[in-house]
Every structure is written in C-alpha cells, then in structure tokens.
Amino acid sequence: MSNPDWFLATDRQAAMAAFEKLLASGGCLALCGMPDAGHHAFVRRLRAEVEGGGRPAISSSSVETSAVVKRSLLDFWKQASAPVPKDVIPRWRIPGTALPLHEVVDGVATALRSSKPDAVLFLELPDRFDRLQKPEMTAIVDLSNQSGCPLVVTSLASVSAWSSLTGCEAVRLTDFTREDITEVMLTQPRVHGRRLEEVTAERDGIMNGKAKIPPEEAYVLLKAWGEHGS
C-alpha cells in the first residue's frame, strides 16, 4: 500500500539530517520558518518516522489562550503521566498554569523519565502569537536536557535566535525549488513510463511559473496532483 503522506517527503535534507542526529544523541532541534513553511505537516512526517521506529511521539500546541509554552508543557505532563487507576487516590496535586515554568519543566521531565524515557517531543509554534521570552526558550531546551527526550520545536523565530541557546540546533524550513518538487513527483507510480517533458510540464503547473514555492502550498498542490491522477 502506498504512503498517503508521500508528498511530505519533499526534500528536507538538512532538517532530516539534524533530526536523525537528534534521535541519536538527544537535545533540542528548532525548525524555523515563515507561517506558510508547513511546520505542522513536516512534524507529521517526523512523527511518522518516530512511531514507525517504535518510539512514542508526544506533540503539543495550543491556540485558545496566550499561555502557550506553559500550557503546552502541561499538556506534555498530562500525556507523559501514567493514568491513575480509578480506585487509587492521586498522590500529587494537579499541575496548573500557576506553577512557575521551571517547576513545570521539572515535573514534565520527571514524568517522562519514569514513564516514557524513549519518547520524542514535538512542541508546535509556541510563538505563533508573540515572540518567546528568552527564559521560555531556555525552558524548552532545558526540558530536552532534563528529560533526556529529544525535543523538536517549530517556530516563527529566526534560526539564530534558537541556535544561540546551548544544547539547541536550529534549521530553517526553506521554500521548495523546482528540483525538489520534481524529485518527489518522480517517486509516484503515476509518472512511471511517462516522458520527463510531461512530468516537467505538470511540475511547472504546480510551480505556476515561480522558481520557489512555499512548503505548505507545495504539500497541498502535490497531494492534489497525486489525487487527480488516482
């Protein structure tokens, strides 16, 4: 059976290499890009890699209030904690946004170390409303260090903002070129046996005369192209 998310495999060599390194040695990886950089779609691809390898993937993002970092970390905490049996009274109080950020980080790290030490964490766009304060960025990196779990954070901030933090590597999610698009199209059975000129013409239709295309647009147009021919 073909992979329904094949279009997400558009070339991301630098990001994929950084991710492989992250899985092997831990730490924090920031994936930076414009709002249309396809952050979530790329996380979907990375999650599939993680889960395919038999490791748990824990994602979090939040839009309903402004307390994004803390709320997302609390969500990690909830997901990392083993469910309490119905006949057992929980020993600790329910963590909430009133807890200082460093205590939230300690709590999540402890929960992860005890229940899901091999998990990979994905924190999505904590800066979608407002740029992060440095202590918030530091807390995110600290969580990966304290828990020992690799952490991927997607961000609208620049690569330099994240890579200045110790223990954090940052990669930019750049736009896709014609070559990137052609390469992923060529992986699809529908082009087998067809002339390259035909594929190139379809690729040019997707690119609409542009040399580069924003990732989110590329993913959508490729998926539509795939479904058109199926």
Partner 1 sequence: MAPSSVRDGSADKDERGPIVTAVCEVAKPMTVRAAWLLSTAVSLERHDFEDLLSGLWSEEAGHAEAALEILEWPFVEETVDGYRMSESSAHAFRRNFLAEDEFRFRQAHQMLAELERSRDAGDDADRAWFGRGRYAFYLAGYDQEGAAQIFGDNFADPPLLNPTSARMWLSWLAIQQSDLLGEVPRVIEFFHGFRSYVKGAYREARRSFDSVVSAGEPDAYHALATHFAGLLRRGDEPARGQELLRGSVQLSGELELVENEIMARNSLVTALISDRSVSDLGEAAELSRLNLERALLTENPHLIYWCRTTFALGQWAYLTDRHSRVGDEAREAAPELVRELESVVTEAFSTEVETALQAANMGASILRDVGSYSASLELLDRVTSRLPEIEALPPQPLERLTKTTRSLRKHLSKEQLALASEVSARLQAEAERTTSGAGPDRR
Cα–Cα distances in angstroms (integers) from residue 206 to residues 33, 116, 199, in the given order: 21, 42, 11
Least distance between partner 1 and beta carbon 33 (Å): 6
Q: How far apart are CA 56 and CA 149, in angstroms?
A: 10
Least distance between partner 1 and beta carbon 77 (Å): 12
Q: Specify the 3-state DSSP secondary structure of 222.
A: helix
Nearest Cα residue to 115 out of 142, 61, 77, 69: 77
Q: Which amino acid makes up residue 82?
A: A
- 180 vs 216, which CB is nearer to partner 1? 216
Which stretches of the chain bind partner 1, using CB under 8 A?
4, 7-8, 32-38, 40-41, 44, 59-67, 71-72, 75, 100-102, 124, 127-139, 155-162, 164, 172, 175, 208, 214, 216-217, 219-221, 223-225, 227-228
> Strand ranges (DSSP E) for 44-119?
57-60
Least distance between partner 1 and beta carbon 182 (Å): 18
- 63 vs 186, which CB is nearer to partner 1? 63
Least distance between partner 1 and beta carbon 145 (Å): 16
- 201 vs 224, which CB is nearer to partner 1? 224
Q: Specify the 3-state DSSP secondary structure of 167.
A: coil
- 85 vs 106, which CB is nearer to partner 1? 106
Least distance between partner 1 and beta carbon 34 (Å): 5
Q: How far apart are CA 112 and CA 163, in angstroms?
A: 25
126: Cα separation from own chain's centroid:
12
- 7 vs 19, which CB is nearer to partner 1? 7
